[in-house]
Amino acid sequence: MLKMVLGTLYSKAELTALSEICKSNNLLLFMDGARLAMGLSGTNSDLSLADISNLTDIFYIGGTKNGALLGEAIVINNKTLQANFRFHLKQRGALLAKGRLIGVQFLVLFYRQSVF
């Protein structure tokens, strides 16, 4: 049996409704950002990166599917989730010694997007 997986492109109204439901039920809202750039640049999208930042607790921007060699940018908007995040990454072996080199790719990608 062939199962097809489709990405969902949310409107600002839909994401706002999801965010309100999560907040009213004391749930966290995480957005998978593997293809976030393609979703935001779509002709039917009325969302901005600022909207996503305001409406989610945490999201990430996938690097490899958005033009970077590797890596992901994790954006944590919820202050309670920010506490000790670097410590937990380091404890689990996920904090790279030269991680700033991966971060440079995102600076270039974001700058490039803002120029056009």
Residue 29: name the closest of 41, 9, 15 by CA. 15
Examine residue 58 and state whether it is found in any structural domain, yes or no.
yes
Task: Report whether pLDDT(116) > 50.
Answer: no
Distance in angstroms (rounded) separating the CA atoms of residues 6 and 30 = 18
Q: Number of folded domains in the chain?
A: 1
Distance in angstroms (rounded) separating the CA atoms of residues 68 and 34 = 12
Examine residue 6 and state whether it is found in any structural domain, yes or no.
no
Examine residue 4 and state whether it is found in any structural domain, yes or no.
no
Cα 98 to Cα 19, 22, 74: the distances in Å are 35, 36, 16
Task: Report whether pLDDT(19) > 90.
Answer: yes
How many alpha carbons lie under 13 Å from residue 55 in its C-beta half-sphere? 19
Q: In the chain, what percentage of residues exceed pLDDT 90?
A: 29
* pLDDT single digits (tens) 33-78: 877 877 888 788 899 889 999 999 999 888 888 778 888 888 999 9
Write out the residue range of the structural domain in which residue 77 sits: 13-115
Q: Which tokens in the block code for residue 114?
A: 């803002």
What's the pTM? 0.76
Cβ(38)–Cβ(54) below 8 Å: no
Examine residue 2 and state whether it is found in any structural domain, yes or no.
no
Examine residue 8 and state whether it is found in any structural domain, yes or no.
no
Return the higher-pLDDT residue of 101 and 81.
81
Task: Report whether pLDDT(2) > 70.
Answer: no
Examine residue 101 and state whether it is found in any structural domain, yes or no.
yes
